[in-house]
Amino acid sequence: MRTDSIEDRAGVAAVELAGRLGWRHVRLADVAEEADTDLGGLRAVARDKTDLLRHFLAGMDRDVLSEDSGFTAEDSVRDRLFDLLMRRFDALAPYKDGVRAVMADVVRDPFTVVRLAPDGPASLAWYLEAAGVGTDGPAGMVRAHGLAAVWLAALRVWVRDESPDLAPTMKALDQALARAEQAAGWLSGVRGGRRRGDPNDRQAPADWTDQPDPAAPPPGEGVSAEG
């Protein structure tokens, strides 16, 4: 992730420190030192540790959504979202230990969960827009919350996935997208867009969605701060 600004450096520093110390043990003074600033500089961009997580996620999403990509009219919304969210996992990969540590501690902190809860759907709304799906109004809000549930289902698999090709994560993501598509049909109605020209683009095997995982939570259940 780019670290051009104090916000970026602080967000990355906080998550990296979480991977080494555990999120509950991360102190703002440590983050400031790691981010090559002081507490005054850190205070100028963050109110507390929760804001540092927001900076981290915003920087990650900025990098993913800024990538040169192109979809065509032939690409379904589901394929576009699968591709975009796998790119999000790729962006998270260098910080996996930290993300795992944050998730482990945040779920035990109801106050932080409540504060971060709206951020997940808000972040995922940008991925819907990148896939050509509108996010305005009540329908857009429902779509964003649905995609946040999809992301959470796949994220729970990703934090335990040590395979080199992330096959379990891809399977979980594809199945969650399939359930969302069947439940609400909110993956239809593409406005058009772009498809990436990368020859290494990943695609979910078609037979993955023929056998949905009964243990995975349905879209809309368990949406939390992990967006």
The pLDDT value given to residue 209: 43
- Topology of domain 1-66, CATH: Arc Repressor Mutant, subunit A (1.10.10)
Listed by start position, the domains of the chain span 1-66, 68-227
Are residues 15 and 102 in contact, defined by beta-carbon separation less than 8 angstroms?
yes
- In this prediction, residues 179-200 reach a mean pLDDT of 55
User: Residue 180: enclosing H or E segment and its boundaries?
Assistant: helix 167-184
Whole-number Å distance between alpha carbons of 65 and 87: 9
Q: What is the pLDDT of residues 125-169, one digit of tens each?
A: 999 999 989 999 998 999 999 999 999 999 999 999 999 999 999
Provide the mean pLDDT of the chain: 85
Q: What is the pLDDT of residues 36-85, one digit of tens each?
A: 999 999 999 999 999 999 999 999 999 999 986 677 778 888 999 999 99
Looking at residue 217, the DSSP 8-state letter turns out to be P
Looking at residue 93, the DSSP 8-state letter turns out to be G
Percent above pLDDT 70 for the chain: 80
The pLDDT value given to residue 70: 73
Is residue 186 very low, low, confident or very high in pLDDT (cuts 50, 70, 90)?
low
Q: What is the 3-state secondary structure (H, E, C) of 97-130?
A: HHHHHHHHHHCCCHHHHHHHCCHHHHHHHHHHHH
pTM score of the predicted model: 0.81
Q: How many angstroms separate the first and last alpha carbons of the chain?
A: 17
The helix, strand and coil proportions of the chain, stated in percent and rounded to the nearest 5, come to 65, 0, 35
> In angstroms, what CA-CA distances link 122 with 61, 69, 89, 146, 185?
11, 22, 17, 11, 20
